[in-house]
Amino acid sequence: MADSVDTYSRLVSIRNRRGLHARASAKFCAVAGSFDAVVRVRREDADVGGCSIMGLLMLGAGKGCDIEISATGPQAREVVDTLVRLVEDRFGEGE
Residues with catalytic annotation? 21
8: number of CA atoms within 13 Å, CB side? 14
CA 46 to chain centre: 13
The three-class DSSP label of residue 90 is: helix
Helical ranges in the chain per DSSP H: 22-32, 53-58, 76-88
Rounded distance between C-alpha atoms, residue 11 and residue 25, angstroms: 17
